[in-house]
Amino acid sequence: MIDPAPDAIAAAAPLIAPFIRHTPILAVEAKALGLPGPITFKLEHTQITGSFKLRGAFFNMLTREVPSAGVVAASGGNHGAAVAYAATALGHKSRIFVPAAIAKVEKLARMRAFGAEVILTEGSVGACMEEYAAYAQTSGALSVHPYDTIPTLTGQGTLAREIEAQMGDLDTVIVATGGGGLIGGVSAWLRDRVKIVSVETEGTNTLEKSLREGPDIDVPASGIAAGSLGGPRLGVDSYTLIKAFVDEALVIPDTEVFNAAARLWDATRLIGEPGAAVALAALTSAAYMPEKDERVCVILCGGNATPDWFLQ
């Protein structure tokens, strides 16, 4: 059995439930989005901190000992906001390392508002990860990795469990991928029961490149989704789950992300961040074409962006 096992995810769900939102789903008719069939959105961008990351953050802190030095993480924004919120809610200090090159003003503000000390780092995302890991080692703070630990994957897997409970029968789930924490957790729960489709942009194609070249890579993030999906490499456990259970790995241009976000707004009056629009862009760009009557769920994974980003 590849970890995390489904029974671990099932046990995690009630543990974190008092601290997070049970986010809704929304079925949208085909005509509204200009698609060949209806789809269902999982509105995880309405989570307390604006993304799915809160699930893994709380599960880490509720199941691991947090020292007096508090917790530390590296993030482009969503993971940092989640770690900051969870740490503050549970009475801990938090420090978040953020690559200055991909830092977004609105995400920095969210992290600070939730109580984090934010440290901007120079250089690549990989260099930021090294600085954060070094601080964890020297300070003794609990490291809450954005995607490369079993507790993080276990927490994120509760999202897939929730989708399946809400939708019942489900054929396909479409997931935007960064470092692999979300799609790894989704894979850990759904396994072979449901088709799992990964979507990335041309500037953040870590999963697609890993499947072609192996996991020992370093992808420099660029483009509109860099702040959401800019993981330099997949986590070890994420990669194992992805290799076993992910059915397709799609890569799309940034132009399709803007188009998908605009169509989402026109059809639903919902706004997601670029990472959320990437998942929908698999459909609006026709990179993924569902079969007739295929029951598809698109995860809107985050909403931490300025409301008009896709109009710029």
Instruction: Give the whole-angstrom CA distance, residue 298 versus residue 296.
Output: 7
Pick the CATH number of 53-143 from 3.10.180.10, 1.10.287.70, 3.40.50.300, 3.40.50.1100: 3.40.50.1100
In degrees to the nearest 10, what's the CA dihedral of 162, 64, 54, 76? Answer: -130
Residue 12 identity (one-letter amino acid): A
- State both tokens at 38: 């209806």
pLDDT tens profile 42-57: 999 999 999 999 999 9
Residue 63 identity (one-letter amino acid): T
Instruction: Give the whole-angstrom CA distance, residue 157 versus residue 25.
Output: 17
- State both tokens at 77: 């924004």
CA atoms within 13 A on the CB side of 310: 26
Residue carrying structure tokens 């194609």: 205
Closest to 35 in 3D by CA, of 263, 241, 216, 214? 263
Domain map (residue ranges) of the chain? 6-51+150-311, 53-143
User: Phi-psi bin for 209: left (phi > 0), alpha (psi -120 to 50), beta?
Assistant: alpha
Q: Do the domains 53-143 and 6-51+150-311 match in fold?
A: yes
pLDDT reported for residue 103: 83
Q: What value does the CA radius of gyration of the chain take, rounded to a whole number of Å?
A: 18
**What is the DSSP annotation of 265-303?**
HHHH-----HHHHHHHHHHHTTSS-PPTT--EEEE--B-
Instruction: Give the whole-angstrom CA distance, residue 243 versus residue 157.
Output: 16
Closest to 196 in 3D by CA, of 279, 258, 256? 279
Residue 70 identity (one-letter amino acid): G
pLDDT reported for residue 136: 94
Q: What kind of fold does domain 6-51+150-311 have according to CATH?
A: Rossmann fold (3.40.50)
pLDDT reported for residue 247: 97
| Bridge partner list, 285 | none
User: Phi-psi bin for 77: left (phi > 0), alpha (psi -120 to 50), beta?
Assistant: left
pLDDT tens profile 154-189: 999 999 999 999 999 899 999 999 889 999 999 999
How many C-beta atoms surround the C-beta of residue 166 within 10 A? 15
Instruction: Read off the DSSP letter of residue 51.
Output: B
Identify the sign of the CA torsion 12, 96, 205, 277: positive
User: In what helix (H) or strand (E) does residue 97 lie, and over which residues does it extend?
Assistant: strand 94-99
pLDDT reported for residue 147: 87
**pLDDT tens over the chain, length 312 residues:** 788 999 999 999 999 999 999 999 999 999 999 999 999 999 999 999 999 999 999 999 999 999 999 999 998 889 999 999 999 999 999 999 998 988 888 889 999 999 999 999 998 888 898 999 999 999 999 999 888 899 999 999 999 999 999 999 899 999 999 889 999 999 999 999 999 999 999 999 999 999 999 888 888 888 999 878 877 788 899 999 999 999 999 999 999 999 999 999 999 999 999 999 999 999 999 999 999 999 999 999 999 888 999 986
In degrees to the nearest 10, what's the CA dihedral of 25, 30, 36, 41? Answer: -10
**pTM surpassing 0.85?**
yes
